[in-house]
Chain A
Amino acid sequence: MKIIKTVNVEKIYTSFDVDTVALNKVNLEVEQGEFVSIMGPSGCGKSTLLNLISLMDLPTRGEVFFMEQSTSKMTDKKRAEFRRKYIGFVFQNFNLIEELSVYENIELPLVYLHLPPSERAQRVKTAMERLDVAHKQKFFPMQLSGGHQQRVAVARAIVASPMVLFADEPTGNLDSKHGQEVMEILSELNEAGTTIVMVTHSAANAEYANRIIQLFDGQIATGKVNQYSL
Chain B
Amino acid sequence: MFRSYLLITARNLLKHKLYSLINILGLAMGIAASTVLFLLIKHETSYDHFHPFKDRIFRITELIDHNGVGEHSASVPFPTALTLQKDYAKWVEKSVRLFNYQMPSLSISYQNKTYNESRFFFADSTFLDVFAFELSQGDPQTALMEPHAVIISESIAYKYFGKENPLGKKIIFWNRIPLLITGVFAKSTRPTHLQFDFIASFSTLRSAIPPEVFKRWVWNPCWTYIVLKDKSFAGELTAQLPTFVQKYFDEKMKDNVALSLQPLQDIHLKSNLDYEISPNGDIKYVYIFGVTAVLILLIASINFMNLSNARALLRAKEVVVRKAIGADKEELIKQFLAESVLMSAIALVFAFIDVELAAPYLNDLSGSPVSEYIKNDWNIVKYILITGLLIGFISGIYPAFYLASFDPTQIYRGNVLTGITEPRFRSVLVVIQFVIAILMLISTFVSVKQLNYMQNAKLGFDKDYILVVPIGGSSSVLLFDEIKRQLLLSNAIISVTSTEEVLGNNYQTHEYKSANSKSAYYPTITVAHDFLQTFNIELVAGRDFIDKRKITQVYDEEGNYNNEADLFQYFEEDEENAVIINESMVKHLGYTSVQEAIAQNFSSEKGTEKIIGVVKDFHITSLHNPLQPFVIDLADRNAQRLHLKYIAIKIDKNHTDKAILALQEVWKKLNTRHALDYFFLEEKLNRLYMKEQQWSQISFQFAIVAIFIACMGFFGLASFIVEKQRKDVGIRRAIGATTFEIVFFLSQKLMRLVIISILVAAPISFILMRIWLSSFPYHIQLTPDIFTYSASIILIITFLTISFHTFKIALQTPVEAIKSL
Contacts and interface: CB of A to CB of B under 8 A. Distances in A.
Contacts of A51: 409, 412
Given A56-B408, A77-B329, A77-B330, A108 B4 contact: yes
Interface string A97-137: 11110001001110111100000000000000000000000
B428 to A, nearest CB: 25
B132 interface: no
Interface string A32-56: 0000000000000001101100101
A95 B328 contact: no
B420 interface: no
A5 interface: no
A63 interface: no
A95 B322 CA distance: 10
A100 to B, nearest CB: 6
B318 A77 contact: no
A76 interface: yes
A87 B326 contact: yes
Interface residues of B, number: 27
B326 A112 contact: yes
B1 A76 contact: no
Interface string A159-197: 000000000100000000000000000000000000000
Interface stretch (A78-86, A144-152, A202-210, A222-230): A78-86
Interface string B325-345: 111111100000000000000
A80 B327 contact: yes
Given A47-B412, A97-B8, A83 B326 contact: yes
Contacts of A113: 326
B727 interface: no
Contact of A100 (B7, B324, B327): B7
Nearest to B1: A111
Contact of B324 (A89, A99, A107): A89
B724 interface: no
Given A97-B318, A99-B8, A99-B15, A112 B409 contact: no
B317 interface: yes
Interface string A52-92: 00101100000000000000000011001111110101011
A97 B498 CA distance: 84
Contact of B411 (A82, A95, A97, A112): A95
A156 interface: yes
Contact of B12 (A82, A85, A99): A99
A99 B11 contact: yes
A19 B1 CA distance: 41
Contact of A112 (B7, B327, B329, B407): B327
A56 B15 contact: no
Given A95-B317, A99-B15, A104-B7, A56 B409 contact: yes
Nearest to B319: A97
A111 B330 contact: no
A104 B1 CA distance: 11
Interface string B1-23: 10010011001100100000000
B97 interface: no
B323 interface: yes
A156 B325 contact: yes
Contacts of A104: 4, 7
A114 B331 CA distance: 12
B321 interface: yes
Of A51, A96, A97, chain B has the most CB atoms within 10 Å of the CB of A97
A92 B412 CA distance: 8
B4 A81 contact: no
Nearest to B8: A99
Contacts of A156: 325
Interface in B83-132: none
With most chain B CB atoms within 10 A of its CB, the pick from A80, A81, A82, A92 is: A80
Most buried by A among B1, B325, B327, B407: B325
A76 B1 CA distance: 21
B525 to A, nearest CB: 76
B421 to A, nearest CB: 12
Contacts of B409: 47-48, 51, 56-57
Contacts of B411: 91, 95
Contacts of A91: 411-412
B280 to A, nearest CB: 56
A84 B11 CA distance: 25
25 contacts: A56-B323, A57-B409, A77-B330, A80-B326, A80-B329, A81-B328, A82-B326, A83-B326, A84-B325, A91-B412, A93-B414, A95-B411, A97-B8, A97-B322, A98-B318, A99-B11, A100-B8, A107-B4, A108-B4, A109-B325, A109-B326, A111-B1, A112-B325, A112-B326, A113-B326
Interface of B: 1, 4, 7-8, 11-12, 15, 317-318, 320-331, 407-409, 411-412, 414
Interface of A: 47-48, 50-51, 54, 56-57, 76-77, 80-85, 87, 89, 91-93, 95-100, 104, 107-109, 111-114, 156, 168
3 A-B pairs with least C-beta separation: A84-B326, A80-B328, A99-B11
